[in-house]
């Protein structure tokens, strides 16, 4: 008796074939630089299955056909990217970074020679996810400039995913996610809903106005960013890139930093295996020579 691929009525073929997994992971790598080795197959399967259910597509094979069709390439690509990327983030994630920024980086940048000609800190949160990182930066910067006359700041927050950028733009968060924000900052920079049944909070308009959100692909050959950044936070995304992509990205960051500017990377990331001109300052904190 001849057998063929098992399909159940509800979910179609139960597993993503190695061939389809390779097609999808090659596409992800080519388009956003995220490496999905064979160990990520189960994860991809689970996440793609949710999309299939939503689209009522009965099998992985048919989903792949759709993704790589003319229509699917345009329509489904953002959803596939959302499905396979990790957006985990938090307010004051890796708090030592914000401490170092506040105590060491900002005073040093403010006292930098020649800084008289420019008195605006330019900060970039690259791969900002749903906004917790850039709004944490905004709180730190706002506190600093309030106590340092003549200084202002701007924050550029970018990500590949339109979904997370939309959430970042709304700046609405569940109350239980803001516990890491020190209470005085919570009081100053968060708004509560007027509806007592709604426990969500929102970032105040003054901080929201300081954060410019934009879609930007970190693996693009060049970034459409004018002027030099003083500080770049690029945390917990390089870990998904291979060495070649990391090295290329770090070189681009170097070009976009002012001399004496800083690069912060994630706690599980390091530049030590990469060829870069950055100077090591503290764990996961680097500086461009001035
Ligand atoms: C784990 S989150 C990190 C958020 C934040 N930086 C933090 O450390 O809390 C990783 C983010 O990287 C974004 N991302 C993945 N590949 C990207 C790419 N090629 N260009 C820009 N952003 C990318 C994802 O959409 C996701 O929001």
| pLDDT per residue rounded down to tens, the chain (290 residues) | 565 444 444 445 678 999 999 999 999 999 999 999 999 999 999 999 999 999 999 999 999 999 999 998 889 999 999 999 999 999 999 999 999 999 999 999 998 866 555 799 999 999 999 999 999 999 999 999 999 889 999 999 999 999 999 999 999 999 999 999 999 999 999 999 999 999 999 999 999 999 999 999 999 999 999 999 999 999 999 999 999 999 999 999 999 999 999 999 999 999 999 999 999 999 999 999 98
Are residues 264 and 127 part of one domain?
Answer: yes
Are residues 152 and 71 part of one domain?
Answer: no
Atom of ligand 1 lying closest to residue 88 CA:
1
**What three-state secondary structure class fits 271?**
coil
Nearest protein Cα to ligand 1, atom 9: 89
Are residues 125 and 152 part of one domain?
Answer: yes
CB-neighbour burial class of residue 58 (10 A; exposed 0-12, middle 13-18, buried 19+) = middle
Q: Is residue 1 part of a domain?
A: no
> How many CB atoms sit inside 10 A of residue 248's CB?
15
CB-neighbour burial class of residue 78 (10 A; exposed 0-12, middle 13-18, buried 19+) = middle
Are residues 180 and 101 part of one domain?
Answer: yes
Q: Quote the number of domains for the chain.
A: 2
Output b/e per residue, 93-118; b: 16+ Cβ within 10 A. Answer: bbeebbebbeeebbeebbebeebeee
CA 151, CA 99: separation in Å to the nearest integer? 19
Are residues 100 and 75 part of one domain?
Answer: no
Are residues 151 and 259 part of one domain?
Answer: yes
The pTM (predicted TM-score) of the whole model is: 0.93
Given the residues 22, 47, 51, 112, select the one marked as catalytic.
Answer: 47
Q: Are 112 and 143 in contact (CB under 8 A)?
A: no
CA count, 13 A, side-chain hemisphere, 176: 0
Site to probe by mutation for ligand 1, drawn from 155, 160, 240 as the one with most ligand atoms within 8 Å of Cβ, is 160
Site to probe by mutation for ligand 1, drawn from 28, 129, 235 as the one with most ligand atoms within 8 Å of Cβ, is 129
Residues of the domain holding 142 = 95-287
Residue 157 forms beta bridges with which residues? 125, 213
Are residues 153 and 63 part of one domain?
Answer: no
* Phi and psi angles of residue 120, each rounded to the nearest 5 degrees, phi first: -125, 120
Are residues 141 and 254 part of one domain?
Answer: yes
Q: How does DSSP classify residue 91?
A: T
* Among candidate residues 155, 158, 126, 139, the one with its CA nearest the CA of residue 203: 139
Are residues 225 and 114 part of one domain?
Answer: yes
42: CATH:
1.10.155.10
């Amino acid at each position: 008796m001849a057998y063929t691929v098992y399909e159940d009525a509800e979910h179609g073929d139960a597993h993503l074939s190695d061939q389809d997994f390779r097609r999808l992971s090659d596409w992800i790598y080519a388009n956003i630089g995220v490496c999905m080795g064979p160990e990520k197959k189960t994860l991809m399967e689970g996440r793609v299955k949710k999309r299939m259910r939503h689209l009522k597509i009965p099998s992985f094979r048919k989903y792949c056909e759709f993704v790589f069709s003319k229509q699917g390439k345009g329509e489904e690509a953002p959803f596939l990217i959302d499905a396979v990327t990790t957006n985990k983030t938090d307010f004051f994630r890796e708090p030592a970074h914000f401490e170092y920024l506040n105590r060491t980086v900002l005073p040093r940048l403010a006292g930098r020679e020649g800084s008289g000609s420019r008195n605006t800190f330019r900060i970039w949160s690259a791969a900002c996810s749903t906004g917790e990182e850039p709004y944490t930066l905004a709180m730190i910067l706002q506190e600093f400039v309030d106590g340092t006359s003549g200084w202002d700041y701007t924050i550029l927050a970018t990500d590949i995913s339109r979904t997370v950028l939309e959430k970042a733009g709304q700046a609405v968060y569940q109350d239980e996610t803001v516990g890491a924000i020190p209470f005085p900052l919570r009081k100053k920079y968060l708004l509560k809903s007027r509806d007592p049944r709604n426990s969500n909070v929102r970032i105040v308009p003054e901080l929201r106005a300081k954060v410019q959100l934009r879609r930007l692909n970190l693996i693009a050959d060049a970034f459409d960013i004018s002027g030099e950044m003083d500080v770049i936070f690029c945390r917990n995304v390089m870990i998904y890139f291979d060495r070649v992509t990391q090295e290329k990205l770090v070189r681009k960051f170097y070009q976009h930093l002012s001399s004496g500017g800083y690069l912060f990377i994630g706690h599980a990331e390091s530049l030590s295996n990469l060829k870069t001109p950055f100077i090591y300052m503290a764990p996961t904190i680097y500086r461009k020579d001035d």
